[in-house]
Amino acid sequence: MKSNDQPKMSAEQVQVFLDSDFPEANFYGKTYEILSVTTGGADVMLLSHERHLRPGGTISGPAMMALTDVAAYVGLLGSIGPVALAVTTSLTINFVRKPEPGHLIASCEIIKLGRRLAVLDVRIRSEGSDAIVAQGSVTYAIPQE
Amino acid sequence: MKSNDQPKMSAEQVQVFLDSDFPEANFYGKTYEILSVTTGGADVMLLSHERHLRPGGTISGPAMMALTDVAAYVGLLGSIGPVALAVTTSLTINFVRKPEPGHLIASCEIIKLGRRLAVLDVRIRSEGSDAIVAQGSVTYAIPQE
Amino acid sequence: MKSNDQPKMSAEQVQVFLDSDFPEANFYGKTYEILSVTTGGADVMLLSHERHLRPGGTISGPAMMALTDVAAYVGLLGSIGPVALAVTTSLTINFVRKPEPGHLIASCEIIKLGRRLAVLDVRIRSEGSDAIVAQGSVTYAIPQE
Amino acid sequence: MKSNDQPKMSAEQVQVFLDSDFPEANFYGKTYEILSVTTGGADVMLLSHERHLRPGGTISGPAMMALTDVAAYVGLLGSIGPVALAVTTSLTINFVRKPEPGHLIASCEIIKLGRRLAVLDVRIRSEGSDAIVAQGSVTYAIPQE
């Protein structure tokens, strides 16, 4: 996508939308902070909390799966805007390193944005690190209006 | 697997192990109830809570992904016992129907239990329904002692 | 699905359709033999050929992936009939055992058949064996007429 | 990975290895041409042949799955060298656009190269095009010597 394209929603707009329409994502206090939204994807931070930890101090798989889902959704909203009701149809995740306790950043990239189907790639790293701890892909069905 | 085989841990034993070793799974009160453990798999119920709901009343994707992860882990523990420290290496899930609000039951089946690798299939249904709402597969690396 | 339902195409009808509409599937001679088609799925045999073998005598991953794709498509045709033009949108496969040289049988099961989306589970075994050598899932987009 | 690292095998060396050790990959004449191998991945071209085509002129899913498998294997060999016998444990692919007839180029990137497990991301484009037609991920088990 051209770099001078504008996303349909800014990071702030997606954050407001997410906080109001998906209250369960932040049920126990703010959990996801949207760092950036571009036409090609988004960066979302998981504000790591004790409930995300596993024994030994690493972050749980479900916490990373939920982050993958949220990050991909944020990336999609940036490109299609808040009107469409996209539905996650599948999610695949590979856990490749145990993250240290701390915040995680998921970077998603739009692989395909079709009229009816979207596919996004998501990579999760610990804040301040380049090493990928998990890589996922998420597909959406986009209802026709 | 032969039907007269005994699992290495009973449902009660896995429940105790899970509740003590994975406190984050039940961080906000009991969330997963192990219904049965056999040599070939396990049934685990998600005790649905307001935090699992999405607008419109359906159960969130992350809640189903976490259930998939827990159910597969329970099925694996039943076959390898509590000594081994299995690590989830990947999880794939297809969301195929929107579940009604209410408890969900995940049934997992061991596809392969090798010395180093295990693969389990998981199917999620609403309590009292035959319709599959999500289907997943989970792979584990089993460390060599 | 009810056991007294009839599939929309018989094994013979699907075989004729496949052989004429997908000649590339049998480009070098008959490769796939449809064993059965029901309302819930299908069984398809890969007639193993030298080109499917890997050094050491096992059957190649791509041969099993192609079989997974064909078996799922056959299962889908049995339920929706030859009119619809279904498109594979994703395929996931876990290779869990090295198959011996010889024919393979893929059994597919319809997990969900919606108006727009279908998901099938596929399990591959060596002919005459109960052990699963690969397990996959395939998703289709079904165009609206 | 640092850009001044050298891969353990050059594109030419991997090509020779592949052609001799995986003759089934080129059973009907040269099918895969290795374009480049770096420490972080590889580019592999599918020399499209009539047997890879689907009615309507597009390239078949199995041809793209096989290309994904080969490209990831080439990328892995570049980093671990020809000694290790890596085994594909899973492959996931999303088909996102119908490719035009013609050669395809798969670019793979190493997501994780551990002692026992490797994960690679693969993206397929038509020669001369930037649009992704398929995106996959492949995982390997690396036997311990």
The 10s digit of each residue's pLDDT in A112-133 is 999 889 999 999 999 999 999 9
pLDDT under 50 in chain A at which residues?
Answer: 1-3
Contact C92 D89 (CB under 8 A): no
**pLDDT value at residue D1:** 44
CB–CB contact C94 D90 (8 Å): yes
pLDDT at residue D4, as a whole number: 54
Q: What is the pLDDT of residue C3?
A: 46
**Among residues D101, D107, D103, which one has the least CA distance to residue D132?**
D107
Would you state the pLDDT for residue A2? 44
Q: What is the mean pLDDT of chain C?
A: 89
Taking each helix axis from N to C end, the angle separating A61-80 and A11-21, rounded to the nearest 10 degrees, works out to: 120
Q: Out of A21, A51, A69, whose CB is closest to B61?
A: A69
Collect all residues of chain B within an 8 Å Cβ-Cβ radius of residue A28.
28, 51
Q: Are C51 and C74 in contact (CB under 8 A)?
A: no
Q: Report the distance separating Cα B54 and Cα B74, nearest Å.
A: 26
Structural domains of chain B in order of their starting residue, each with its CATH number? 11-141 (3.10.129.10)
Mean pLDDT of D79-107: 91
User: Which residues in chain B are closer than 8 Å to C92, comparing Cβ atoms?
Assistant: 92, 137
User: Rounded CA gap, C142 and D98, in Å?
Assistant: 15
pLDDT band at C84 (very low <50, low <70, confident <90, very high): low
**Contact residues of C toward D, CB < 8 A:** 21-24, 27-28, 50-55, 60-62, 65-66, 69, 87-95
CA distances from D24 to C60, C67, D66 (A): 8, 16, 11
The tens digit of pLDDT for each residue in C108-141 reads: 999 999 988 999 999 999 999 999 999 999 999 9
Percent above pLDDT 70 for chain B: 92
Give yes or no for residue D145 having a pLDDT over 60. no
Q: How many CB pairs under 8 A join A and B?
A: 75
Q: Number of Cβ pairs closer than 8 Å across B and C?
A: 43
Query: Residue C17 gets which letter from DSSP?
Result: H
From D107's Cα to the closest Cα of chain B, the distance in A is 22
**Residues whose CB is less than 8 angstroms from the CB of residue C129 and which lie 6 or more positions away in sequence, other chains included:** none
> Percentage of chain B with pLDDT > 90?
65
Whole-number pLDDT of residue D3? 46
Residue of D nearest to C21 (CA): D55
The confidence score (pLDDT) of residue B1 equals 44
Q: What is the ipTM for the molecules in this complex?
A: 0.91
User: Tell me: the pLDDT tens digits for B82-96?
Assistant: 866 789 999 999 999
Q: Identify the segments of chain B with pLDDT beneath 70.
A: 1-4, 24, 27, 83-84, 145
Q: Is A135 close to D117, i.e. CB distance below 8 A?
A: no
Write phi, then psi, for B89 (nearest 5 degrees). Answer: -105, -30
Which chain D residues are Cβ-neighbours of B92 within 8 angstroms? 92
Edge to edge, the sheet with strand B32-37 lists A32-38, A41-46, A104-113, A117-126, A132-141, A87-95, B87-95, B132-141, B117-126, B104-113, B41-46, B32-37
Q: What is the CA radius of gyration of chain C?
A: 15
pLDDT of residue C145: 57
On whether the CB atoms of residues C82 and C10 are closer than 8 A, the answer is no
- Longest distance between any two alpha carbons in chain C, whole Å: 48
Which two tokens mark C55?
């050094």
pLDDT in tens, D45-73: 999 877 777 777 789 999 999 999 999 99
CA distance A140 to chain D (A): 12
Whether B53 sits inside 8 A of A93 (CB atoms) is no
Q: What distance in Å separates the CA atoms of residue A50 and residue B62, rounded to the nearest whole number?
A: 18
pLDDT at B145: 57
Of D97, D117, D137, the CB nearest to A135: D137
Q: Rg of chain B over CA atoms, in angstroms?
A: 15
For residue B4, the surrounding DSSP H or E stretch is none
- For the CA atoms of A118, A123, A124, A126, what is the dihedral angle to 10 degrees? -150
Say what percent of chain D tops pLDDT 90: 65
B109 to chain C nearest CA, in Å? 12
CB distance D77 to D7 below 8 Å? no
Ranges of H-type helices in chain C = 11-21, 61-80
Give the list of residues 6+ apart from residue C7 with CB closer than 8 angstroms, or none: C37, C38, C39, C78, C79
Could you read off the pLDDT of C28-56 as tens digits, one per residue?
778 999 999 999 999 999 998 877 777 77
